[in-house]
Amino acid sequence: MTNVGPLAHITVLDLSRSLAGPWACQIFADFGADVIKVERPGLGDEARIWGPPFLMDKDGESTGDSVYFLTSNRGKRSITIDIGKPEGQQIIRDLARKADVLVENFKVGDMERFGLSYAKLSEDNPALIYCSITGFGQSGPRSRQAAYDFAIQAMSGMMSITGEVDGRPGGGPQKVGVPIVDIVTGLYAAIGALTALVQRGQTGKGDFVDVSLLDCAIAGISSQVMSHLLTGKIPTRLGNRHPTIQPQDRIACSDGDIVIAVGNDTQFVKFCAVVGRSELPHDNRFAKNADRAMNADVLLPIIGEELAKWTKQDLADALDAAGVPCSPINSIAEVLADRQVRHRGVVSVVPHSKTGKVAQVSPPMRFGSLPEMSLRQHPALGEHTRELLTEIGRTVDDIAELQARAIV
Within this chain, do residues 142 and 275 fall inside the same structural domain, yes or no?
A: no
- Band (267; pLDDT cuts 50, 70, 90): very high
Residue 136 lies in a domain: yes
Top pLDDT among 200 and 312 is at 200
Residue 192 lies in a domain: yes
Within this chain, do residues 126 and 198 fall inside the same structural domain, yes or no?
A: yes
Determine the pLDDT at residue 372: 76
Query: Which tens digit of pLDDT belongs to each residue from 305-320?
Result: 999 999 999 999 999 9
Top pLDDT among 10 and 52 is at 10
Report how many domains make up the chain. 2
**Mean pLDDT, residues 38-62:** 91
Within this chain, do residues 158 and 68 fall inside the same structural domain, yes or no?
A: yes
pLDDT at 1 over 60: no
- Band (90; pLDDT cuts 50, 70, 90): very high
pLDDT at 321 over 80: yes
Determine the pLDDT at residue 4: 86
- Work out the percent of the chain whose per-residue pLDDT is above 90: 86
Catalytic residues: 182
Determine the pLDDT at residue 368: 87
Residue 239 lies in a domain: no
Query: Which tens digit of pLDDT belongs to each residue from 362-392?
Result: 999 988 888 777 899 999 999 999 999 999 9
Determine the pLDDT at residue 58: 85
**Whole-prediction pTM value?**
0.92
pLDDT at 64 over 90: no
Report the CATH number that the domain containing residue 285 is assigned in CATH.
Answer: 3.30.1540.10
Residue 113 lies in a domain: yes
Within this chain, do residues 161 and 302 fall inside the same structural domain, yes or no?
A: no
Determine the pLDDT at residue 136: 97
pLDDT at 344 over 60: yes
Residue 334 lies in a domain: no
- Band (62; pLDDT cuts 50, 70, 90): confident
Within this chain, do residues 354 and 303 fall inside the same structural domain, yes or no?
A: no
- Band (3; pLDDT cuts 50, 70, 90): confident
**Mean pLDDT, residues 64-93:** 96
Lowest mean pLDDT among 20-29, 163-172, 303-312: 163-172
Q: Which H, E and C letters describe the chain, residue by residue?
A: CCCCCCCCCCEEEEECCCCHHHHHHHHHHHCCCEEEEEECCCCCCHHHHCCCCEEECCCCCEEEEEHHHHHHCCCEEEEECCCCCHHHHHHHHHHHHCCCEEEECCCCCHHHHCCCCHHHHHHHCCCCEEEEEECCCCCCCCCCCCCCHHHHHHHCCCHHHCCECCCCCCECCCCCCCCHHHHHHHHHHHHHHHHHHHHHHHHCCCEEEEEEHHHHHHHHCHHHHHHHHHHCCCCCCCCCCCCCCCCEEEEEECCEEEEEECCCHHHHHHHHHHHCCCCHHHCCCCCCHHHHHHCHHHHHHHHHHHHCCCCHHHHHHHHHHHCCCEEECCCHHHHHHCHHHHHHCCEEEEEECCCEEEEEECCCCCCCCCCCCCCCCCCCCCCCHHHHHHHCCCCHHHHHHHHHCCCC
pLDDT at 327 over 90: yes
Query: Containing domain of residue 316, as a range?
Result: 248-329
Top pLDDT among 277 and 58 is at 277
| Average pLDDT of the residues of the chain | 94
Report the CATH number that the domain containing residue 65 is assigned in CATH.
Answer: 3.40.50.10540
Lowest mean pLDDT among 197-206, 241-250, 262-271, 398-407: 241-250
Determine the pLDDT at residue 283: 96
Determine the pLDDT at residue 293: 94
Within this chain, do residues 107 and 66 fall inside the same structural domain, yes or no?
A: yes
Within this chain, do residues 257 and 385 fall inside the same structural domain, yes or no?
A: no
Residue 323 lies in a domain: yes
**Mean pLDDT, residues 101-120:** 97
Residue 4 lies in a domain: no
Determine the pLDDT at residue 221: 96
Within this chain, do residues 167 and 312 fall inside the same structural domain, yes or no?
A: no
Residue 61 lies in a domain: yes
- Band (233; pLDDT cuts 50, 70, 90): very high
